[in-house]
Structure 1
Amino acid sequence: MSTTALLTTLQFAGVNALFALAIYASLRTGVLSLAPVFFGAVSAFTFGYTAGTVGLSVPLALVVGVGLGAAMGAVTAVLIIRLDSHYLAMATIAMVLIGRVLIINLVEYTGGPTGTLVPGDLGTWAWLIGSLVVACYVMSRLAGSRYGLAADAVREDPAVAQTLAISPRRIQFVGFVISGALGGAAGIFQASFLQYIGPDTFYTHLGFVTLAAVVLGGAFHWAGPVVGAIAFTLLPELLREPMGEYDRVVTGVLLVIIIIYMPRGLVDVRRLRLLRSRGRRRAVDDDATPTPTDRDTTPAQVTT
């Protein structure tokens, strides 16, 4: 792989990491949702229209797009959050399909089937790394907050969470809002890197790829989606030359192996804590084991 191809792949790995964090934001509250793909599409086309046609400044158009993504997350939560888990997941997939239909028909704003051009001002490493740092910082701060603890309780058992005076729907509503903001930012950056978006730019394959990245990296820590997205984006490109057309087969097999033997993903904080505790126990046992000199020493020798 050439250096240019590697850098381009890393750029889209960063965008996929934002999408994966958006899926993780709702998944942490116990909701499997592919709606971030829809949020990304809405924000990306809004960014392209406001920055390209209306003439807003690029930073202001970015703020408008991210804010609209968060608003769409709130509206989505109000409409579908009462559904059961599998019905809710199907509803979010339907949103992605509906989004494609809207993109094709809203020709004045989206360009219709031919798509539209998008300003590439945000397609730089500075904007991408800065957004990833901000997103990771926010997710890390939320992890140890009251919201993070409540989200963990809702994910494990909503009924038990209710007995602890935690409202599952309120927590899931906040998760959808965060997911909408992150998904909107990811869609804007992808559009800015591509400088072109069309009906197939934000489709179901993007949702399944980023969901696989969350599973690969680990859905129990905010760093898991980032690591999974980078690995899942780089691996097919690295395997393409030696494996040819079988690169996706190898990637799928590796994903299945990781799911079987590492069900909590590559980033498993609990596994690391267990390994540390075992290491400490071994160290304590080694210190408590008497040495050969201690064994040979008798009470008589000590008194003499």
Structure 2
Amino acid sequence: MLTRVLAGLGLLVLLLVVYGVAIEPRLLLDDKSFEAEIPNLPGGWDGQTVALVADFQIGMWLDNEAMVAEAVEDAVEDEAALLLVAGDFLYHPDSAKADRAVALLGPAFEAGVPVVAVLGNHDYSLMKTHSEERPPIAEYLTRRLRESGATVLENEAVGVPAPGGGDTLYVAGIGSVWAEASDPQAALAAVPEGAPRLVLMHNPESYRGIGGGEAPLALAAHTHGGQIRLLPGEQNSWLDIVRQGEVVADGWALDSLGAPSNRLYVNRGIGFSTVPVRINCRPELTLITLRRSNGSTPTRGPSATADS
């Protein structure tokens, strides 16, 4: 009897590993859609879709290149007016892998979709420690992205014209926390007062440095959603339980983590860290439909319920 129970448990674990390595992360992309209200959003951007991807982690063993390609292609097929990349293109410092990561954005470049990105800690070769050093790979990746047509921001902002030209939406991009380059105020100072904006960062920790009303929609990644969720739904990963109240592993941040009239959404990313497993935590493409806010500042929380 005991032998059968142990054999059954062993089979269950084996099936779970196969699912977590070969099925969920490779075949099941989560196209997460919601609407977001942006104060002073001009007519040319009202109703447009902004796509968000993150954490490619190219170069890790059993990385997830095919799913990155699928996410970018889906963003183009969904007629995204802007593609945001929230960092961690790489897992290890390798120029060939950097070239590959940039090439995966090819469908967006070819379709004329503006691409705006920030770098993550892995893009600076930082896996566990903070450092002010700027390794050559970060400079190389930045150069290759810009040569291909992407805008790479570090505590800067850029105005993105609406499709067809004219109306401008600003993207403020915050630098890497682990690279000691996170300066939210510098990034937001580059946005004209009252101008419609999105705030892009890699690490959600940068969100705490944003003043009230300055980020009607902030977007981050870095956490991978914990890669393993213990229960269905957002913020149910092991990471949420172990560091409850300290981190946002995925989805919408609690009010207590930010200043008034700010909102933060954390994307689960596509790749992996440490082990190539995702269970109940599918790789994510976020599709955000922008809407003009009726008031001077948006209400907290999503203006529409997210769906998959």
State the TM bucket, normalised to the shorter chain: under 0.3
Higher Cα radius of gyration: 1
TM-score by length of 1: 0.26
TM-score by length of 2: 0.26
Higher helix share: 1
Bigger relative contact order, structure 1 or 2 (CA pairs below 8 A, ≥6 apart): 1
